[in-house]
């Protein structure tokens, strides 16, 4: 294992989580009143670790033990491979090995200036604190709504929202809470914090306590892009979606903002039936899902930083400028290459996924397009076709969710990467 690169170990790490989760969900203690098929258990495990939220069977069909397993898989997938293990090592006063540090840096895509040991501690502490306060507020929301087991519901949905997983214990997501201001606010805040990423959380915190004078350039891009996408998505849904025109102004704004947020952060909750939305609205959501969240966050997509780099490249080309600049700074060529490669390979996998599902499923093309974008972006929104997919269609969707969680470009690198001479020498010595 030591001879494998960090990228390959990340792929194998997530795969091992999914397999362990699958075995646990197959246990009789995890099953509810009805027996759940092995393929559906595998689908649920992959969806949970990839923090997607697409399901072929409702989460409430599992027993409490099964739901705890799902929540644990979401948490493990959300905070990143090996993060909990690294946190335990650091808590015992020991240093991280070079291998663990390399894997963590690969998972979080850390910019310069971040120490991985301090960053891992911050990740776990911030996660627990944010999820705790989120669960506290949600508890009062669910208790006032006469929800069964409000404490467990609040904990589960807080974890699911912060990890942008979109798993819920209600059969229709949050459609019954479309007009509930506090639920929309808390779920929205949890999802935005998780999607903007741990880099931003730690960076802003260090700025607030005075350890640094300015937040990093990466954090500035993430925050600005998140605001811009949320505003644009909300505005477009407000003026184009017929299903919300009969709602009161306050509820209409809340619904459009929530649905834009859930696509942009890739959290996958919904307060209106997705299959009732107009084609134009579905296209808006697909656009937001493809861009996705931010690097080192819990969401998927091509990432906002890659998107802004490509936009800056197009802008400089139109102006016939020799340098690519973003927010007054020159963008290094290696970052542009990485961004272009990410976008290109992401679109390649997206097209492949759509093509594969059109061969196995007899569903409308728009539904298959939306489902593919949701699976690859680890979003979880669906027009309602997930449970009726064929066995082969479910396997294809599992592959899309897995690739989306690892990252299409990272997955491709793991497949084609060859060991360096140093890695090969280390392997030969180990043998």
The pTM is what?
0.85
Over residues 376-415, the pLDDT tens digits come to: 999 999 999 999 999 999 999 999 999 988 876 666 665 5
Q: Is the pLDDT assigned to residue 33 strictly greater than 90?
A: no
280: its two tokens: 């134009």
Report, as an integer, the average pLDDT of 262-276: 93
Between 79 and 57, residue with greater pLDDT? 57
Instruction: With respect to residue 73, please indicate whether it lies within any of the assigned structural domains.
Output: yes
Q: Is the pLDDT assigned to residue 6 strictly greater than 70?
A: no
Report, as an integer, the average pLDDT of 108-128: 63
Whole-angstrom distance, CA of residue 39 vs CA of residue 42:
5
Instruction: With respect to residue 342, please indicate whether it lies within any of the assigned structural domains.
Output: yes
Instruction: With respect to residue 267, please indicate whether it lies within any of the assigned structural domains.
Output: yes
Instruction: With respect to residue 387, please indicate whether it lies within any of the assigned structural domains.
Output: yes
Over residues 354-371, the pLDDT tens digits come to: 999 999 999 999 999 999
Q: Is the pLDDT assigned to residue 97 strictly greater than 60?
A: no
Q: Which domain holds residue 185?
A: 6-430
- CB under 8 Å to 88, separation ≥6 — which residues? none
- The separation between the first and the last C-alpha atoms of the chain, rounded to the nearest angstrom, is 11
pLDDT of residue 24: 96
Instruction: With respect to residue 1, please indicate whether it lies within any of the assigned structural domains.
Output: no
Whole-angstrom distance, CA of residue 233 vs CA of residue 188:
14
Q: Which residues of 278-301 are buried (b: 16+ CB within 10 A; e: fewer)?
A: eeebbbbbbbbbbbbbbbbbbbbb
Instruction: With respect to residue 286, please indicate whether it lies within any of the assigned structural domains.
Output: yes
pLDDT of residue 336: 85
Q: How many domains does the chain have?
A: 1
Over residues 296-325, the pLDDT tens digits come to: 677 788 888 888 888 888 888 888 888 888
Instruction: With respect to residue 84, please indicate whether it lies within any of the assigned structural domains.
Output: yes
pLDDT of residue 411: 62
Instruction: With respect to residue 277, please indicate whether it lies within any of the assigned structural domains.
Output: yes
Q: Which of 71-75, 163-167, 330-334 has the lowest mean pLDDT?
A: 330-334
pLDDT of residue 255: 95
Between 75 and 116, residue with greater pLDDT? 75
Answer whether 12's CB lies under 8 Å from 105's CB.
no
Mean per-residue pLDDT of the chain: 83
Q: CB count, 10 Å around CB of 320? A: 6
Whole-angstrom distance, CA of residue 420 vs CA of residue 409:
19
pLDDT of residue 273: 93
415: its two tokens: 């497949």
Report, as an integer, the average pLDDT of 27-41: 92
């Amino acid at each position: 294992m030591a001879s494998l690169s960090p990228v390959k170990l990340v792929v194998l790490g997530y795969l091992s989580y999914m397999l362990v989760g699958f075995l646990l969900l197959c246990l009789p203690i995890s099953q509810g009143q009805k027996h759940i098929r092995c393929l559906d258990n595998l689908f649920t495990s992959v969806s949970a670790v990839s923090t997607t939220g697409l399901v072929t069977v409702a989460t409430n069909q599992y027993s409490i033990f099964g739901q705890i397993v799902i929540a644990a898989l979401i948490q493990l997938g959300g905070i990143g491979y090996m993060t909990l293990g690294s946190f335990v090592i650091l808590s015992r006063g020991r240093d991280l090995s070079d291998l663990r540090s390399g894997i963590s840096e690969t998972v979080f895509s850390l910019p310069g200036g971040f120490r991985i040991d301090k960053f891992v501690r911050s990740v776990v502490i911030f996660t627990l604190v944010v999820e705790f306060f989120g669960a506290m507020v949600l508890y009062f929301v669910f208790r006032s709504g006469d929800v069964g087991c409000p404490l467990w519901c609040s904990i589960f949905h807080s974890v699911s929202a912060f990890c942008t997983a979109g798993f819920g214990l209600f059969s229709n997501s949050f459609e019954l809470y479309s007009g509930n201001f506090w639920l929309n606010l808390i779920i929205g805040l949890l999802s935005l914090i998780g999607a903007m990423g741990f880099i931003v959380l730690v960076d802003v915190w260090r700025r607030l306590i005075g350890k640094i004078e300015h937040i990093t350039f990466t954090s500035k891009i993430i925050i600005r892009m998140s605001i811009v996408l949320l505003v644009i998505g909300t505005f477009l849904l407000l003026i184009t979606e017929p299903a919300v025109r009969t709602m009161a102004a306050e509820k209409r704004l809340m619904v459009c903002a929530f649905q834009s947020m859930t696509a942009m952060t890739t959290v996958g909750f919904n307060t209106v039936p997705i299959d009732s939305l107009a084609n134009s609205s579905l296209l808006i959501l697909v656009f937001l899902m493809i861009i996705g969240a931010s690097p080192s966050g819990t969401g998927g997509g091509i990432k906002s930083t890659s998107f802004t780099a490509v936009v800056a490249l197009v802008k400089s080309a139109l102006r016939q400028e020799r340098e690519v600049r973003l927010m007054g700074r020159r963008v290094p060529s290696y970052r542009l290459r990485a961004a272009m490669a990410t976008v290109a390979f992401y679109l390649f996998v997206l097209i492949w996924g759509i093509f594969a599902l059109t061969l196995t499923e007899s569903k409308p093309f728009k539904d298959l397009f939306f489902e593919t974008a949701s699976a690859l972006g680890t979003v979880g929104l669906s027009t309602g076709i997930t449970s009726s997919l064929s066995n082969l269609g479910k396997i294809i969707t599992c592959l899309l969710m897995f690739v989306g969680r690892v990252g299409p470009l990272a997955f491709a690198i793991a497949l084609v990467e060859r060991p360096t001479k140093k890695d090969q020498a280390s392997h030969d010595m180990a043998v």
